[in-house]
Structure 1
């Protein structure tokens, strides 16, 4: 099986306004700046999330990351001043919490029962 590296992009209208929001959401400054208007975070071994200024595409991203302790993640994010827009529990017990950035992009964190 081939190794895969995943880069998931989130287009934003205003990079300077969005960068601090994503730093609070993800809990750190970016791992690197790809360009003057693109920031990149490593969120898993081979998984990266990047925020890039692309006003013509802003507000349409949908991204969900599964985390081992959803309650802890939500509490940490709340401690940095961001509250979820939506919290859901599916029939199988899986939970998902969704945040919306200033452009309306949706970034979710999910947790499985017992995880």
Structure 2
């Protein structure tokens, strides 16, 4: 089986509120306004995070986004009002900082040890 793209989805109850939160976490507006109920951020040529209005499933998702410098990413997010993430070691794999979005979906920024 060969894969060539990843789309990770975060279901939410309030799209406008979620878009605001994710914009502050990520540091830029969504790249693709798909339609009235979905937006997407593109991180690499083949990796996307989409936020979709889906109240029935909101709050039950988990996504990890790898960043080059976790300390810088957490400080930048805090500067945009996304607070409360403590950086934790994840064994020999690297480090992680996690937040819950307004619906309780878990978002982690990770820095992988090479």
Provide the TM-score with structure 2 as the length reference.
0.91
What residue ranges of structure 2 are gaps of 5+ in the alignment? Answer: none
How large is the Cα RMSD of the aligned pairs?
1.7
C-alpha contact 2:59 2:105 (8 A) present in aligned 1 = yes
Post-superposition CA distance 1:18-62 (Å, at most 9, x none): 111111011111101111011110012210000000000000110
What residue ranges of structure 1 are gaps of 5+ in the alignment? Answer: none
**Matched residues, number:** 114
The answer for the alignment partner of 2:68 in structure 1 is: 68
- Residue 14 of structure 1 deviates from its aligned partner by 0.9
What aligned pairs does 1:1-115 form with structure 2 within 5 A after superposition? 2=2, 4-92=4-92, 94-113=94-113
Provide the TM-score with structure 1 as the length reference.
0.90
